[in-house]
Amino acid sequence: MVWEGANALIESNIIIVSPRYTFARLFRLGQTADFWGSIGMSLGRIMYGFCLALVAGVIFAMASAKSKIFHRLVLPAINVINAIPIASFTIIALMAMNSANLPVFVAFVTVLPIIFYNTHKGIESTDPALIEMANIFGVPSWKKTLYIYLKTVSPYVLSAANAGIGFAWKSGIAAELIGVVRGTVGANLHTARIFLQTGDLFAWTIAIVLLSYAMERVFRLIFGKVMK
């Protein structure tokens, strides 16, 4: 209702289009092969970067919790990565690599700090009494990891991953748009902006939101089954 009211007040289809027109345009785009090809291209690259960040973030957090020296070495780098704007990362990366790899790299560096911070916090929050008891009874390291650390850390990792998926999509699409990566969602947003196709801009934005939500649900489903 707010969206429809804003469209009625502004009365300019260049600035804002109605919900009806947007969803009609999304339906038409969904009937084309280019639409699904662009989504597939963006989905593959962004989720690849996300998965790399998930694995690297957990490994770095585990090593950081185990070694104070490693923690002191890696923490400043993670803090710098977290502080640098997405646009700066994208432009710097664009000067050093092929534009096709931009979404992977930018999604990776955006999600990595989120995974690292949360996982490290989860490891630190593990009950020391449980670890001491396991050491007294000579519980093997792999069992301590599986039955103590994993149960404690997994909610932190899941929370970080849920937030990370949204950030991965935002940063990955922004990288595609800045680098004008052909055959991607970001490139279509760039085209819509150039030609003032506001309906397409809104339609692609809704597609991004739906994809991000779907990926979050899929990840929660998979992660929930693995943790059972």
Q: What is the CATH number of the domain that holds 173?
A: 1.10.3720.10
Residues 6+ apart with CB under 8 A from 26: 203, 206, 207
pLDDT at 30: 92
In a domain? residue 22? no
In a domain? residue 2? no
| The residue type at 76 | P
Domains of the chain: total: 1
Residues 6+ apart with CB under 8 A from 187: 38, 176, 177, 180, 181
pLDDT at 78: 93
pLDDT at 224: 66
pLDDT at 207: 92
In a domain? residue 12? no
For 57, the domain range is 34-227
pLDDT at 34: 92
pLDDT at 146: 65
Q: What is the mean pLDDT of each run of 10 residues along the chain (228 residues)?
A: 82 81 92 93 93 93 89 92 86 83 92 93 79 73 67 83 88 89 90 89 92 85 67
pLDDT at 8: 79
pLDDT at 188: 92
In a domain? residue 9? no
In a domain? residue 13? no
